[in-house]
Amino acid sequence: YQYLSRYKRKENLDQFTFHPRNIKGAEKECLACLMEFCGRRDPSWTELSNFTHFLNFQLRKCEQSVFCSSVVGREFHGF
């Protein structure tokens, strides 16, 4: 949700890293955002669960990648 809400507001995600202790937003906002980006008109709880698990997995890999580090980001903006 933290990435999706920032993406929706067209914020720069290159410098953002998720920190579990720094969560913003209410549950209702989170659910609405997930439903918007899920890609299904009326997703089931299983579809939302699969979407969030897949998205979290991909974002964790991205945060751990040397190619997405802040050092590389300074040299190759948006990479």
Band (71; pLDDT cuts 50, 70, 90): low
Q: Give me the domain span that covers residue 33.
A: 1-75
Tell me the per-residue pLDDT of 29-65, one tens digit each, with 9 for 90 and over: 989 999 999 988 889 999 999 999 999 898 888 878 7
Distance CA 62, CA 3 (A): 12
| DSSP state string for 6-18 | HHHTT---TT---
pLDDT in the model for residue 63:
79
Residues contacting 66, CB < 8 A, separation 6+: 72
pLDDT in the model for residue 26:
86
Q: How many domains does the chain have?
A: 1
